[in-house]
Structure 1
Amino acid sequence: MSLKQLNEQVKRDLDYLNYDDPTWVKPRQSEQGHIFDVVIVGGGQSGLAIAFGLLKERISNILIIDENDKGQEGPWETYARMVTLRTPKHITSVDLGIPSLTFRAYWESQFGEKSWSELDKISRGDWMNYLKWYRDILSLPVQNQTKLELIEPVGDHYFALHTKNAYSKETLLTRKVVLATGIQGGGEWHTPHFISKSLPKHLYAHTSEPIDFMNLKNKKVAILGGGASAFDNANFALEQGVSEAHVFVRREQMPRINPIRKMESSGMIERFQALADEKKYEAISHFFKHNQPPTNDTFNRAKSNNGFKLHLGSPWKKVEERPDGIHIKTPKGEHLFDFLIISTGLITDPALRPELALLEHNIKRWGDVYDPPNSLKNPILDSHPYLDKGFSFQARNKHEQLSGLYAFNYSALISCGITASALSGMRYGVPRLVSAIADELFLDDEEEILTEFYQYDEEEFIGQWKAEELQS
């Protein structure tokens, strides 16, 4: 089957499902302009899958907005520097159960079944190309170059989304908002203060930021962090001509266990939300202890490069700029570098998100509802929003509007597991989110829907007969 034939198969499969049936949602009117039923913030893999899920549920008055240019959504063409995805190739995700929409179908239509069986992992570039195809074949409504600046509640019925692009500002009105904003969408990337306060910004960058590797050619780079991203950046830097890339890890041994693999086979991804709060908190606390290790091929590729150096049990105690470079002090020695790359993850807290400035004071956190044992208590976990099973924010003060606002990003980790945080969780998380939105839209209009139902009197049966015929 060619890609052209696959495209026809996708359209046929969707036609079998009555994909284009009219919506059941009651339209809302406003003097201020069009009111969307749902606006999805983020046009990466999650945002696209959510839009497809909503369209399958005949919720069509929707829009995806993304601040990036078309084809630059998500991390794959920006700050992601791995060669391949870490997720096993057979895991399904954004297809939402439609075989012709799977990555496997997309791959085999171009390279054949034998090529699929020989494929080890999906390359980053191939995955992004697949997402572009997915967006186009489904004709998903994405508005690029649109950055959300502020979410403002308007009465009790909808939100005003204040956005901007390169030329102007625009206010979008919507009943529901989904923050499908990825890894950093629940807070911000974390650079330790002892680094940001000690060095000028041109001497370091977080892995999430653009880095001018061409300017670092033949120079020495230090990377702080022992997770997969640290090794991805080390490999990328060396491939771009950096003379040495040193990875500094706080632990005495490299993390070896990837808890996601166990979650994928144990029911923990799809059933996580059934756990009691104390079990959720305990499980994610354990999850945080296991920083996702690099894949074996990523580590071996770094190890095989003469410019790669690994420093275990070597947290940075002090950094300072000197005339001959950046001086780093660790418990095991001192080092001199030309540039630092920070791979220390992120901090989750709604207070860190500028678009939530008018709402974050009312967003319930885990620290508001659960007091863990001292052995588990973690302020990083406590600052996560406390979401319901449908990914909806919960209000501290029920008298202030928060209904209709959903978080499908890394901030959902404690409440909903990795269903919004990893490719392997999306096939479970997206349908749950879509169902919650559909229920809420239905209940918003239940009186009108039920009144129309009670008044419905269109005759369908038109048969006639005589009494004696009926008795014969």
Structure 2
Amino acid sequence: MSITELSRRVRRELTYLGYPSREWTCARTLDGVPAVDVLIVGGGQSGLGTAFGLQREQITNIRIIDRNPRGREGPWRRFARMTTLRTPKDVDGIDFGIPSLTARAWYEAQFGRDAWERMQRLPQEVWRDYLDWYRDVLGLNVENEVELMSVEPSGDLLVAHLLRAGRTERVPARKIVLATGFDGSGRPRLPQALIANLSKQHYAHSSDEIDFSRLRGKRIGILGVGASAFDNAGTALEAGAARVDLCFRRAAIPRVNPLIWMNFAGLLGYFGDLPDLERWRFMRHILEDLPVPPTQESVWRCRRHAQFAWHGDSQWSAARPGADGVEVTANGRTFQFDFIIFATGFDTDLTARPELGPIVDHIALWRDRFEPPAGERSELLGRHPYLGPAFEFTERTPGAAPFVRRLHQFTFGAMPSQGLTGAAIPGLKRGLRRLVQGLARDLFCEDAAHYYEDLRAYAQPELETLDTEFDWLTNLGTQAMQPNSLLQEFTREILATLGDEAARQDHPAGLMTRRRAPIKPVALPVKSKKKPTKPRLRAK
């Protein structure tokens, strides 16, 4: 099966799953501007999955924006430098249970079934290609190079201030989903004491876009011991770095990955339903006691190069520019580097997010809602947002800012509240369903009174007649035998259809209708049953 055939199959299968097809949300406006039901910020895997899930709930009044150009949404073509995903290749989730929409179906159509069987893990660039196809086959319209600048409340709506090509736009929205990835809850972690005396040309964070060709022949220092540290080391070595030294403060490289243990349906689906104390204990052990190690392939990738070395017990205490590059001091040792990469992860700090600036003081954190037992405190966990069951923000002071529940944070910052569901590919299967169902539930419940009035006004009869079947069919046949009446009705419907089609071509958004001219009856010639006669010849 080719990609073209697979795409046709996906679209056909979606027609089998479209019931009920009624679009049901209620329109809102702010100062005459129509509001969207959901604004999705982020066009990567989480944002695309959210949009498709909403479409399946017949919620189509949505917008998806991403600040990056098309194809560079998410980390995959910007700073994801692993050769393969660490996720098992048969993972599913954003397909919402449709087999032909899975990464496996796409891969087999692209490269063949034998290639799938031989492959151990998906190459990361292949995953990004799959996301491109997913977006296109589902017709998900992502508005690229549009950035969310700030959010503020306005009555029963939120107002998102967007920036596009230097121009701002105010967008009213009933709900906003922040699917903004790794740094969506804070910012890259950079040791301020180490970078204070360095110019930007001497260092970068592992999430920055780095031109590795400029590192050829250079001495590279990397601070960190996780997957991104080894991925950046491997990329620098393959680019021709003269030497790469990877330093970390621990005595040994971590070996146990707690995220693998988390991959089972019980925890992925229901972690968010646990009491606060149990969620706290789980996450404190996972995030503080069991740091995520590098993958086996990333270690081997580096060890293939003789100019690579790692150094445990090497906490950096100082970094200063010198005549021979940057001089770094670490536990009595001194290193000389031409360039430094800080693979130090991300800080959770909502105050670092400019889009939340006007409202951040109203958002509850875990330290605002939960007091851990003695000996179980965690500054790290305490900084995370305390989210509701559908990833929605909650109020720091109950009743003071109910509008914060209209924002849903589907990022790594959701881990203490909802587990892995908003943080990694294996969690998307359960996390997206929880998020989408919560959005749909809130939109419906908010307008329950309107639906009740709509029900009371509903008067469309299903029972068309109380006549017998014979009488009804006879009457129908009598009407059909009136040619002029039937022709007029048929002609009117045909012309109306053609007019609508022409209007749609001229105005794709369907915002303009055409006035139909009155249709004059047209009489068809009636054939005679008499036999034709030969013409008589007149005498001259």
The answer to whether the 8 Å contact 1:243/1:307 transfers is yes
Q: Do the aligned partners of residues 119 and 19 (structure 1) sit closer, same or farther apart at CA in structure 2, a change above 3 Å counting?
A: farther
1:320–1:20 distance in 2 versus 1, CA, 3 Å: farther
SS of structure 1 residue aligned to 2:170? strand
Once the two structures are overlaid, the 10-residue window that deviates more, 393-402 or 442-451, is 393-402
Shift of 1:19: 7.0
> 1:465 deviation in Å?
7.9
Identity %: 39
The 10-residue stretch of structure 1 (396-405 or 134-143) with the greater mean CA deviation from structure 2: 396-405
Amino acid at match of 1:284: M
Q: 1:235: how far off? A: 0.3
SS at match of 2:161: strand
CA distance in 1, matches of 2:441, 2:447: 10
Structure 1 regions of 5+ residues with no counterpart? 467-472
Structure 2 Cα separation of the partners of residues 271 and 70 of structure 1 = 35
Aligned to 1:424: 426
Q: Report how far residue 212 of structure 1 moved.
A: 2.6
CA contact (8 A) 2:182 2:411 kept: yes
Question: Structure 1, residues 258-283: CA drift from partner, whole Å, max 9, x if none?
Answer: 11111113622222112111111111
Q: 1:415 maps to which residue?
A: 417
Structure 2 counterpart of 1:131: 131
String of CA shifts for 1:353-396, please: whole Å, max 9, x gaps: 11001111000000011111343211121011100111010012
Query: For 1:126 and 1:297, how far apart are their aligned partners in 2?
Result: 17
Q: What whole-Å deviation, never above 9, does each CA across 1:223-253 have from its counterpart, x for those lacking one?
A: 0011000000000011111111111121111
Whether 1:387 and 2:387 are equivalent positions in the alignment is yes
SS at match of 2:178: strand
Q: What letter corresponds to residue 186 of structure 2 in structure 1?
A: G
* Helix, strand or coil at the partner of 2:361: helix
Letter in 2 for 1:166: A
SS at match of 1:270: helix
Which residue identity is paired with 1:432? Answer: R
Contact 1:226 1:291 in 2 (8 A): no
Supply the distance in 1 between the matched residues of 2:198 and 2:32 (Cα, whole angstroms): 48
- The match for 1:348 is 348
Structure 1 residue identity aligned to 2:449: E
2:421 maps to amino acid: T
Tell which deviates more after alignment, 322-331 or 340-349. 322-331
Cα distance, 1:406 vs. partner?
0.5
Residue 267 of structure 1 aligns to a residue in which SS?
Answer: helix
Q: Distance in 1 between matches of 2:413 and 2:456?
A: 42
**Per chain length, whose mean CA-contact separation is higher, i.e. which structure has more relative contact order (CA < 8 Å, sep 6+)?**
1
Equivalenced residues, count? 465
- Residues 185-238 of structure 1, C-alpha deviations (whole Å, 9 max, x = no match): 011111011112132222111001122322221010010011000000000011
Contact 1:363–1:395 (CA<8 Å) still a contact in 2?
yes
User: Equivalents in 1 of 2:85, 2:19: separation in Å?
Assistant: 31
Match of 2:373 in 1: 373
Q: Larger deviation: 324-333 or 407-416?
A: 324-333
Q: Which residue of 2 aligns with 1:469?
A: none
Deviation above 3 Å: which 4+ runs of structure 1?
Answer: 462-466
Between 365-374 and 128-137, the greater mean CA deviation after superposition:
365-374
Alignment match, 2:64: 64
* Counterpart code for 1:260: L
Structure 1 Cα separation of the partners of residues 88 and 376 of structure 2: 31
Task: Output one character per residue of 1:380-436: Cα deviation in whole Å (capped at 9) or x when no partner.
Answer: 210111001110100123232223110001111100001000000001000100011
Q: Which position in structure 2 is the counterpart of 1:198?
A: 197
RMSD value, Cα: 1.5
Equivalence for 2:52 = 52
Instruction: Check conservation: 1:19, 1:58, Cα contact below 8 A.
Output: no
Runs of 5+ consecutive residues of structure 2 not aligned to the other structure: 469-540
Q: Does the aligned pair in 2 maintain the 1:19–1:56 contact within 8 Å?
A: no
Which residue of structure 2 aligns with residue 234 of structure 1?
Answer: 233
State the alpha-carbon separation in 2 of the partners of residues 265 and 411 from structure 1.
Answer: 20
Contact 1:62 1:141 in 2 (8 A): no
**TM-fit CA distance, 1:166:** 2.5
Deviation at 1:70, TM superposition (A): 0.7
State the structure with more CA Rg: 2
Hey, what's the Cα distance between the residues in 1 that align with 2:324 and 2:54? 57
CA distance in 2, matches of 1:373, 1:193: 32
When residues 8 and 161 of structure 1 are mapped into structure 2, their CA distance, relative to the original with a 3 A threshold, is same
In the superposition, the TM-score normalised over structure 1's length comes to: 0.96
Report the TM-score when normalising by structure 2.
Answer: 0.84
Distance 1:72 1:242 in 2: 26
- The range that moved more, 27-36 or 378-387, is 27-36
Which deviates the most, 237-246 or 11-20? 11-20
